[in-house]
Structure 1
Amino acid sequence: MMDKIRRYIFAWRYRRAVRQAKNLAGLFGMKYYVISLNGKLRVVLKQTIRELIRRKRFRKGVTLDDIEKSALFVTN
């Protein structure tokens, strides 16, 4: 029962994050990613991810392509 509730909550948060990413991409014309960061779903701008990589927020050797492959959703 708890597993179903967790999946439902995750699906709700995922749909909400995707909707937010699409809206922001439509407004600003930039690429947004939905990624899991610190156990939460985050809508992050591509430029922000580049900055996080420069600041060593991700482990050594991680590139933008790696993050794009593991992202849950990527806007066009």
Structure 2
Amino acid sequence: MSAWHNARETWATVDEDDIEFVVRDRLPDWGLTRRSRRIAAQRLTERDASVEEIAGLIGVAPRTVYRWRAEGFQEAAA
């Protein structure tokens, strides 16, 4: 992640309650931070959610979910 992204707290912060809301209840939350979206996508992938469902729940394009899966969700763990 660039220095600009790291400097923006809103991009790097994680709210576990928001993530759990999306993963457990499968209700959309497009207000997740970038890092929270990746974590939610990873957890939904582990629960066998489809790419289209994940994209719709977290407010990204399906292509983004495919890319994150190909990258192994590296940034989510960081």
Query: Under a length normalisation based on structure 1, what TM-score does the superposition of the two structures give?
Result: 0.30
Whose radius of gyration is greater, 1 or 2? 1
* Structure holding more strand per residue: 1
TM-score norm. by structure 2 comes to 0.29
Higher helix content, 1 or 2: 2
Greater RCO structure (CA 8 Å; 6+ sep): 1
